[in-house]
Amino acid sequence: MSAAAAAAAVPGRRAKAAIHWFRKGLRLHDNPALLRACEAAAVYPVFVIDPWFVSEERVGVNRMRFLLETLEDLDAALRARSSKLSVLRGRPEEVLPRAAAHWGADLLTFEADFEPYALQRDEAVRSLLAERGVRVESFVSHSLYDPRGVAAAGPGGKPPLSYGPFVKLLRGIGPPPRPARDPPAAMPSEGWKPAPAALTFTDNATTASGTGDGASSLPASGEPASAAHGDRLAEARIPSLADLGYAPPEHAPLFPGGEQEGLRRMAAKLSRGDWVRAFAKPKTSPTAVGEPDTTGLSPYLKFGCVSSRRFWHELAAVNAGGPHGSPPTSLEGQLLWREFYICHGFSFPNYDRMAGNPVCRQIAWQDDPELLRRWEEGTTGFPWIDACMRQLRAQGWLHHLGRHAVACFLTRGDLYQSWERGARVFDRLLVDSDWALNNGNWMWLSASAYFFQFFRVYSPVAFPKHTDPDGDYVRRWVPELANFPKAYIYEPWKASKQNQRKWGCEIGSDYPEPIVDHVAVSKLNMARHKAAYEAHKAPGPPRDVPVGDSPGAFQVGSAPRAPKRARGDGDEGDAAAPGGSGEERDGASAAKRAKPASP
């Protein structure tokens, strides 16, 4: 161990300068890692634009816009505390050691992240900085509990695979920790220096002195930082979408980014005590036009603009005011679903793929890029499915029952494409995409893990008739069908050619015919899934299982059967997946023959 590394390892020593590395946890409240950095003589809050994420092929414009708005909000909050956010560019493993050397930092703090990429990245950063005498300390605050502790408390050192036993395990651990206190009103800034221009997004590469390195004291608490620093703050600016190669989004944001907006929304929802206590997610509307019929907090929890621990304890105070719902459908239950998937994503390898994933059934999915493309673009010919996918592409958000419907349609319901492909599309497009929740839900909805009643399939026609009989949601997102009456809005191909021309949309030219015959192909897929379950009870790679011919499976056919409410995995009821399974039973005769395999 070098002398510098040995010095870094001394516990309890006050740091000369600390870097707090924001990643998730983009907030000042309940941020124990930031509080630790504030014990130093000077603290440098930074966010690193990692090129691994900067691509519309990986992160869609809606999520990137939300992130940049959140950084602006965070910078404003830091400036009110006589500090600022330095946005650096490059691979963290390269940028952070250089920034630490520039600032003379001997401490780096950050919020712990348990996703595979983050774990590898953080270990590389930790190792490189330790060699340079910089201590690295991380703190758990993205989730209610430390997933390492939850896993250790579970049977065999793993969290339970079912929601009920998982919740019971958490009850045994006790309530989540209380939120940490707020950071000081004036953050320490002894010998403060601006960020190195070579690592920033900069309009002016040098400071007013022309060196780019000059030390300066920050303004007093409450004084606008820009007034004191002038051109010094032109460097390390927050980039624009254009800086990152993104075209301007076509739609206004459904969720403006930032801690202040997230806290405002949380307070507004929690102020409605009766609504909070009666909340049952399966009863919310997937076709609400405008403000979501749920809390709308998922993007703010994903980016850590709102602390899940603060939400939990403030929710508990509201629930104490009277009788209230219980997990899995209640608001408390939604936070516990989040913990469930976070803990599973940490505990089980290859959670984002089928191969090597111990919780995932091995299924020989079909591979048809054209079917995937039409599903993603919202041109399947099923108006409900297309409306959902078009909203997702436009706004970066979709109600949980809409997500369930399109996921089922892509996988076991109709197109029989791999859940991995759908998960990648969702991860790119969703504002609130969370790695563990996204992959866990896709496994659930494809009946690859957790939920094995594969014969319960969303009908792309019957289900929306139940939730939005007038079809207003479809008319908004599929304007080609705006003039179709409600009797045909979900089955426009059944209208006569004369009426199609009258209503301004001919099926097959102005709007596509259905991509499959839902009734026929869903029965075929049920047989495929049943055979796959039987064939893959023994270990081994997936094999395509012959199930016989199904004439007409890819032809336009009759309407699906009337829906029935589905139950989830075991005793979890309609909310087996976050917010409820909400699935519809289709193909009743096939369901009687097919029996789910044991989990």
- Whether residue 574 is annotated as binding a ligand: the answer is no
The answer to the question of whether 335 is labelled as a binding residue is: yes
The CATH code for residues 369-592 is 1.10.579.10
434 appears as a binding residue in the annotation: yes
Give per-residue pLDDT as tens, 24-50: 999 999 999 999 999 999 999 999 999
- Residue 203 is predicted with a pLDDT of 46
Residue ranges of the chain assigned to CATH 1.10.579.10: 369-592
At 578, list the tokens: 């976050």
Annotated ligand binding at 398? The verdict is no
Which pLDDT does position 555 carry in this prediction?
Answer: 28
User: Phi and psi for 546 in degrees, rounded to 5?
Assistant: -70, 135
When the pLDDT of each residue in the chain is averaged and rounded to a whole number, the result is: 85
- Give pLDDT tens digits for 539-557: 444 544 444 333 233 222 2
Predicted local confidence at residue 72, as pLDDT: 98
Query: Binding site annotation covers 298?
Result: yes
- How much is the average pLDDT of 1-21? 66
257 versus 292: the higher-pLDDT residue is 257
- pLDDT, position 561: 31
For 517-528, what is each residue's pLDDT tens digit? Answer: 999 999 999 999
Q: pTM score, two decimals?
A: 0.85
Sequence-separated (6 or more) residues with CB below 8 Å from residue 369:
none
CB atoms < 10 A from the CB of 465, how many?
A: 20
Q: Is 294 annotated as a binding residue?
A: yes
pLDDT value of position 15: 84
What pLDDT band is residue 236 in, cutting at 50, 70 and 90? low
User: Cα–Cα distance between 243 and 380 in angstroms, integer?
Assistant: 35
85-94, 141-150, 282-291: range with lowest mean pLDDT: 282-291
338 is in an annotated binding site: yes
331 is in an annotated binding site: no
Q: Could you list the beta-strand ranges (E) of 419-526.
A: none
337 is in an annotated binding site: yes
**pLDDT value for 235:** 53
Q: What is the pLDDT of residues 306-340, one digit of tens each?
A: 999 999 999 999 999 999 999 999 999 999 999 99
Residue 199: predicted pLDDT: 86
Alpha carbons 568 and 580: distance in angstroms, whole number: 8
Q: Where in the chain is the domain with CATH 3.40.50.620?
A: 1-140
**Third-level CATH fold of 1-140:** Rossmann fold (3.40.50)
Between CA 178 and CA 189 the distance in angstroms is 28
CB 464, CB 492: distance < 8 Å:
no
Q: Please give the Cα distance from 21 to 125 (Å, whole number).
A: 11
473 is in an annotated binding site: no
The model's confidence at residue 216, banded by pLDDT at 50, 70 and 90, is very low
- Average pLDDT for 228-234: 37
Q: Is 126 helix (H, G, I), strand (E, B) or coil?
A: helix
Q: State how far the Cα of 153 lies from the Cα of 169, in Å rounded to an integer.
A: 8
Whether residue 341 is annotated as binding a ligand: the answer is yes
pLDDT for 11: 53
- Ligand-binding annotation for 589, yes or no, is no
**What is the side-by-side strand order in the sheet with 135-139?**
86-89, 43-49, 18-22, 107-111, 135-139
Q: Which of 93, 31, 28, 26 is nearest to 63 (CA)?
A: 26
Q: Rounded CA gap, 434 and 143, in Å?
A: 12
Burial 427-459 (b: 16+ CB within 10 A, else e): bbbbbbbbbbbbbbbbbbbbbbbbbbbbbbbbb
Which has the closest alpha carbon to 386: 290, 483, 489, 315?
Answer: 489
Per-residue pLDDT, 52: 84
Weakest mean pLDDT among 139-148, 204-213, 425-434, 465-474: 204-213
pLDDT digits (tens, 9 = 90+) for 56-103: 889 999 999 999 999 999 999 999 999 999 999 999 999 999 999 999
287 annotated binding-site participant: no
